[in-house]
Structure formats: C-alpha cells, structure tokens
C-alpha cells in the first residue's frame, strides 16, 4: 500500500498526471475537504489534478510516515506549493507555502481506490498572503462564512 501512495506522491510532485492516473483505480474518489472538492472516476481525477497543478505548479509532497490496517493507509508529511492564478479570487504573494498534510487511502485491485487529502486552508492562505475568508467565499459561497 505504501509503495502505491509513494508512487502517487512522486507523480504528483512531478505534476505527471499520467503517472498519477496509472496507480488509481477506475472508480477512484479523491476528496480534498479544504477545497470542498470530490472527484470520482479517472476522467474527473485527471481534470481535477490538471486544475490543481495550474493553481500550484511547483507542488511537492514528501511522505514522512505512515500507519496502516489491512485495507487502509494513513500517511503524513509536508507539502510545499505556491498559489498562483486567480482560481481562488485573490492575488497571492508568490511565496511558497509549507504545510503539514495528512492523507488517508483505501485500495482495491492493487490500486488506489480513495484518497482523502487534508491540510489547513487557513495556513495556506496565511503563507500565500491572502484572506482565508475571501478564498472560502470563492470556494464555498457566501453561506460558508455564516456556518463557520
């Protein structure tokens, strides 16, 4: 399991969408709660990865540890990335953010079936010099701030 997760981390760090897709199950579900995204299937995962790399062209993740059960793997490590473009409705400062990440994986047929990618959106925004409230409004709409 860890070898698949590490292969995915390496592919994503190279922004190599084809290599990332090669370790994903056809019914792959990728969830990123900080962005409110959920991608199902290979075509949608390809689209969401390409969009992510447009926003964070220097994305790099290093897995520093892991724990697993028979069918679940949890990894932790550090992601480094520079927010670019206007996807989030803000103008970032161009500095590279460094964030702790936690990733939960499930597997089927010797491929990654599910990935849940966790990081602190507020910390990403702070290091990128942008308002967390503005980014949350862009991602989740006006009502997200009332619920927070």
Between CA 45 and CA 24 the distance in angstroms is 9
> If you average pLDDT over residues 136-141, what whole number do you get?
93
> What is the per-residue pLDDT across 51-72, written as a single tens digit (0 to 9) for each?
999 999 999 999 999 999 988 9
What lies within 8 Å, CB to CB, of 12 at 6+ separation is: 20, 49, 59, 61
Quote the strand ranges of 12-71, DSSP E. Answer: 24-32, 37-40, 60-68
| Mean predicted confidence (pLDDT) in 135-147 | 77
Q: What is the pLDDT of residue 85?
A: 87
Of all residues in the chain, what percent carry a pLDDT higher than 90? 91
Please tell me the pTM assigned to this model: 0.90
The pLDDT value recorded for residue 142 is 76
pLDDT computed for residue 12 by the predictor = 97
What angle, rounded to 10 degrees, do the helices at 121-128 and 132-140 form?
A: 120
Closest CA to 49 of 75, 18, 6, 7: 18
pLDDT at 30: 98
What is the per-residue pLDDT for 146? 54
Give residue 41's pLDDT.
Answer: 98
Task: Specify which residues 101 forms β-bridges with.
Answer: 77
Q: What's the mean pLDDT when you consider all of the chain?
A: 94
């Amino acid at each position: 399991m860890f070898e698949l997760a590490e292969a995915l981390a390496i592919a994503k760090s190279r922004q190599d969408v084809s290599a990332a897709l090669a370790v994903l199950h056809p019914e792959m579900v990728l969830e990123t709660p900080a962005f409110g995204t959920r991608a199902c299937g290979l075509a949608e995962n390809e689209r969401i990865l390409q969009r992510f790399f447009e926003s964070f062209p220097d994305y790099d993740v290093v897995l520093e540890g892991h724990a697993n059960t028979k069918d679940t793997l949890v990894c932790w490590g550090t992601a480094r990335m520079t927010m670019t473009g206007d996807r989030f409705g803000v103008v970032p400062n161009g500095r590279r953010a460094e964030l702790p990440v936690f990733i939960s994986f499930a597997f089927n047929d010797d491929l990654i079936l599910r990935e849940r990618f966790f990081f602190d959106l507020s910390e990403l925004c702070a290091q990128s010099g942008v308002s967390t409230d503005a980014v949350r409004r862009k991602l989740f709409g006006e009502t997200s701030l009332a619920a927070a």
